[in-house]
Structures are given as C-alpha cells and as structure tokens.
Amino acid sequence: MERMTVFGRMVTLNRRVILAASLALSLAGCGSNLLNNKENAETHARPAIWQHQHQFVRIESQDRDSILVPANDHPANFSANLIRKMLDSLEVQFEGEAKPVAMFSPEELEILGAAVSRGLAQAGPREDVTFAIAGIHPRSGSRVISTGRLFVENDRLNLIIGALHEPYPESADPSGPLFAPGSRKYTAPDQGKTNAGWAIMGKIGMQHKTGGAIASDVVTRPDWLILNPTPDTFREATKMWEESAQYQSEQQKMHQKIEEIEQSIEQIKQTPASGAPATAAGPMELDNIEQRLQFLQQLKNKGLIDDAEFRTKKQEILDRF
C-alpha cells in the first residue's frame, strides 16, 4: 500500500515537472518572439534616408531566412562618388536587345550615391540598406522601377537585385512584391521569379555570388553582385569625375570670356565713326588689346578655338587698334 502511494506521488510529481518545463519553454518562446518583434519594429521605425512617393532608400534588418547570415561590416565608409561610380559601371543585357544598357540612369545614380553612402555609414552589423527607385530609361521610354539590397561584407559592396527595369504603374501597391528588395535566400529557377531575361555584364572588380542556402548548393547567383571598391578602375573613375567637373567649370568660364570679347567687338563695330581724325591709342587701350590677344592665344593653345577662329578674332581686335 505504501509502495502504491509513493508511486502515485512520483507520477504526480513527474507530471508537474513536465508541465512546468513546457510552460517555461512556451514563455521563453514568447519572450524570444517579443524581443524579435521589438527588434524588427525598432529597425523598421527608422525614418527613410530618402523618400519620394513610393520610392525610398532606407535601413532595415538583414533578411535571415533559412540561411546562416554573417554580420555585415557596418557601419561602412564608402563615399558618394565611389558608390555612384561602382553602380554606374553596371550594365545589363536584356533578352532580345542588341546592346547592353546602363542599369541606372544619371538621375538615379545621383540619388543612390548620396543616400546609400549615408545608409552604410549609419547601419549596424545586422542591418542592410534597401532601395526602390524609378526612372525613365531609353529602352523603355516610360518609368520603370528597380529595387535592391546593399551591404558591405569583407570590404566588398554586395548588391542583391530584386526588380530590374520593371514597369512602374501609378497604381502600384507599395507593399506588393514589386517593391521587395533582393533576398539572400536562393530560389531555384523552377520555383519562382529569377532574372527574368536579363544578365549583368561582367566588369573588372565585379563577381557573382556563388553558393546557395546549404554547402551542397553550387549555384551562381545572377542577381547577387559583389563589387570590389579597391580596383584602380573605380578609384580612377572617381578621380576623373572630379577632374571632369573642374574642367567643365573652367571651360564654362572660358566660354563666358569669349562671349564678352565677341560682345565687345560687336559694340565697336556698331559705334558710328566720327569725322575727327584718328588718334593714337593710349597706354590703357594698348594694355587691353594686348590682354585680349594673349587670351586668344591661350584659347588656341588649349584647343578651345581652331586656327581659323583665332585668325578671325585676332584680325577683329587689330582692326580696332
């Protein structure tokens, strides 16, 4: 009788232990979900870095679906010029098209360069920079949208493409799949949308991501690009862009000077001749003529005017003398 009583107590105790353990696990799971939800809510609560209607550049959590995702090298310091040039180097060949076209328009590059640079500098190790941006491209003639996910890993800029030059209707749902950025999760070609008839052209300093969700996956991701910011091609392109901006500024000043000279000559031509005898030019006037001749010679030396234009303008100045 005592043995039965002891056995009954042990069964009851075991049941209580199992119930308590189940309750603890349940609470732990709820707590974990609450923490994850709180983390995601805080991440998505970040204001967009750039936003125009449904278009955006923003910081959001890594997509950690079914694969072990390493932490990003964030925050990362990539200048706006460098990002612009890296993205500007990308060309896409669409199926049925004769030639590849630029992935991004100049207007899109201006926006993405500045906004992505800020986003990478502000993002944490478990955050990516995502974008949805629309523009008009020559091949389409109408507004198209491109989306993507950007992050830095091993000092390389990773770009996972979501949509690329997709038609952008005014009634597009901003929460729909059209605005979804690229995903780290690999989707086999027969299981959903892939590159939909396009291929990114190979460039120096660019490679495609190889490998899927598990080690046995040997795949090349057409939508996942890894860009190396250190090759001379990107650095030189950035330097050339800066020098080009300076040259354009100087050229604009030169054109203004030419216009001033032409206006001055035209005014001289329209001045009615007086009956008074011609007098010798004074020192101030001689200095002015000499300066104009020297300036014309500089324009010719820099290749901004040809020999015929040089002789014509020179003769006009000497005729004034």
User: Can you say whether the dihedral through the CA atoms of 185, 190, 191, 194 is positive or negative?
Assistant: positive
Q: Percent of the chain, pLDDT > 70?
A: 64
Residue 240 has a pLDDT of 58
Q: Taking residues 35-43, what's their average pLDDT?
A: 43
Residue 38 has a pLDDT of 43
Which band of pLDDT confidence, cut at 50, 70 and 90, is reported for residue 290?
A: confident
Under DSSP, is residue 79 helix (H, G, I), strand (E, B) or coil?
coil
pLDDT digits (tens, 9 = 90+) for 151-189: 999 999 999 999 999 999 878 898 888 999 999 987 765
**45 against 315, higher pLDDT:** 315
**272 against 41, higher pLDDT:** 272
For residues 303 and 298, what is the distance between their CA atoms, to the nearest angstrom?
9
Cβ 222 vs Cβ 199: under 8 Å: yes
Which residues, other chains included, contact 97 with Cβ-Cβ below 8 Å and sequence gap of 6+? Answer: 139
Residue 43 has a pLDDT of 44
Residue 3 has a pLDDT of 44
Residue 298 has a pLDDT of 82
Cβ 135 vs Cβ 105: under 8 Å: yes
Q: Taking residues 247-268, what's their average pLDDT?
A: 68
Residue 214 has a pLDDT of 46
**Average pLDDT for the chain:** 76
Nearest to 135 by CA among 160, 157, 166, 181: 166
Residue 27 has a pLDDT of 46
Which band of pLDDT confidence, cut at 50, 70 and 90, is reported for residue 2?
A: very low
Residue 128 has a pLDDT of 97
**14 against 209, higher pLDDT:** 209
Q: Which residues pair with 55 in a beta bridge?
A: 52
Q: What is the pTM of this model?
A: 0.59
Which band of pLDDT confidence, cut at 50, 70 and 90, is reported for residue 267?
A: low
The C-alpha R_g of the chain, in whole angstroms, comes to: 33
**286 against 80, higher pLDDT:** 80
Specify the range with the lowest mean pLDDT, choosing from 19-28, 114-123, 171-180, 242-251: 19-28
Residue 145 has a pLDDT of 95
For residues 2 and 10, what is the distance between their CA atoms, to the nearest angstrom?
12
Residue 6 has a pLDDT of 44
Which residue is it, tokens 């650095």?
Answer: 235
Which band of pLDDT confidence, cut at 50, 70 and 90, is reported for residue 76?
A: very high
Cβ 225 vs Cβ 90: under 8 Å: yes
CA angle 298, 303, 305 (to 5 degrees): 80
pLDDT of 319 higher than 60: yes
pLDDT of 193 higher than 50: no
Residue 42 has a pLDDT of 42
Q: Taking residues 68-85, what's their average pLDDT?
A: 94
